[in-house]
Amino acid sequence: MSVALLGSVEEASILDLHSGALSLGKHFVNLYRYFGDKIQDIFTEEDFALYRDVRQRIQQRIAQVFGISSSAMYLTKPTFFSRMNSTGAKTTHDEYWHPHVDKVTYGSFDYTSLLYLSDYSKDFGGGRFVFMDADSNKTVEPRAGRVSFFTSGSENLHRVEKVQWGTRFAITISFSCNPEHGIADPLLGWGLSWEQGNPAEDRRKGQSSSCQVCDLQDLGKKEVKVFDGPAPLEWEGQGSINLSSLCWEETVKLVLTRILTAPTPDKEPLVSPSPTQAFKLKARWKKFRDAFAKDWQGVPYGDAHGKGRPWDGVCNYTQAESQTHLRALLTETCAEEWDRRQKCLLRSWFDAFF
Ligand SMILES: O=C(O)CCC(=O)C(=O)O
Ligand SMILES: [Fe+2]
């Protein structure tokens, strides 16, 4: 399976190796469920090893930069490849450009990392990542091999500019400090034993799921047409999969491989902590809360950004509810994480090679 597969429909799309979720037009399909043991024609063990090694390398780097123990970080979900292009979003879950806080959107995230797989201004235009800061926005230009990482709370409100042309690939890999939110690395074998359950899902039982597995299971019952060759026009948007595109896009694989083999250079962090940062951040919490209320005035949060994004289960509430939730989150974070967070660098990035 592949990032290239993401190219089979013309809008923003995601591929989650953990759950097997792949967005196709207005739907999600579960690749593991769909392909069963044929998944071995699509993915290889090496693909999964590559993904796992990149994940480990990013995790170690985050731990090092933020001064925490790598063993206290747990891979959490959703973790996914994304593909964005300039074609208008077909569903609200494609609307990646809204300002958001990952902790609110995804629930379990404590640290977000984004590994970019294509170059701003060469492979695509627009599509820069913007930290929406109180004083001024700070922008990260995606570059193949660049990893941007940051704490997932409201100190890092952000958005992605709309992609103007070309195609932008990235992987979102996120970590939780709560072992309860941990998931295992994806394994090729999951595709073979999907019916017996997915170990990562089992570990999350009893927890409000932010993943789309339920939707996928429903979708799994529907017919998805698989064909070889170009998609007949009338199948477009009907969840068709082009088998000929089911291979790792070579450039993407190359980038991942180069990341693993290159030494990690020491680079200045994108944003350095300052003595006054703690004060600024406290103001930031308030500003965010106010901005949040204004931005989403009259818009049920779930409709605009939650229900439309099946992996955003955590956001399926109204604006008033989301504000209550956010307030609770702020209080909780202030109490439990504030000290730790303000001691940390809040953001950093490195280029894995170049
Ligand atoms: O792809 C990116 O640069 C960021 C995407 C993002 O903010 C998200 O998925 O939460
Ligand atoms: Fe985000």
Which ligand has the minimum distance to the alpha carbon of residue 156? 2
Examine the pLDDT at 338 and tell me if it is beyond 60.
Answer: no
pLDDT at 313: 26
* H helical segments located in 141-261: 199-202, 213-221, 250-261
Burial of 89 (0-12, 13-18, 19+ CB in 10 A): middle
What are the tokens at 165?
A: 């042309």
Among the bound ligands, name the one nearest to the CA of residue 309: 1
Q: Give the model's pLDDT for residue 125.
A: 92
Residues marked active site are found at: 168
Q: What is the pLDDT of residues 42-66, one digit of tens each?
A: 666 777 777 787 788 888 888 877 7
pLDDT in tens, 149-180: 887 877 677 888 888 998 888 888 999 888 88
- Across 86-162, the runs of DSSP E, i.e. the strands, are 111-116, 124-126, 129-131, 138-140, 146-151, 158-160
Above 60 in pLDDT, residue 112?
A: yes
**Does the beta carbon of 115 lie inside 6 Å of ligand 1?**
no
Provide the ipTM.
0.99
**Is it the case that residue 111 has pLDDT exceeding 80?**
yes
Model pLDDT, residue 24: 57
Position in ligand 1 atom list of the atom nearest CA 84? 1
> How far is 155 from 104, CA to CA, in rounded Å?
12
The pLDDT of residue 69 is 83
**259-306 tens-digit pLDDT:** 445 443 343 333 333 333 333 434 444 444 444 433 333 322 333 333
Which residues keep their CB under 5 angstroms from ion ligand 2? 102
Ligand 1 contacts CB of residue 102 (under 6 A): yes
The length of the chain in residues reads 354
Bridging pattern class, strands 146-151 and 226-227? unpaired
Using a 6 Å cutoff on CB, does residue 170 contact ligand 1? yes
Atom index in ligand 1 nearest the CA of residue 127 equals 3
Q: What is the pLDDT of residue 251?
A: 43
Q: How many Cβ atoms sit within 10 Å of the Cβ of residue 293?
A: 14
* Bigger pLDDT: 127 vs 212: 127
Give distance in angstroms: CA of 295 to centre of ligand 2.
16
- Pocket residue to mutate for ligand 1, from 79, 93, 100, 129, most atoms within 8 A of Cβ: 129
Give the rounded percent of residues in the chain with a pLDDT score beyond 90.
2
pLDDT at position 129 = 86
pLDDT in tens, 298-333: 322 333 333 322 222 223 333 344 444 444 544 444
Atom of ligand 1 nearest to the CA of 140: 3
Confidence of residue 348 (pLDDT cuts 50, 70, 90): low
Distance between Cα 100 and ligand 2 center (Å)? 6
pLDDT in tens, 213-261: 222 333 333 333 333 333 333 333 333 333 333 333 444 455 555 444 5
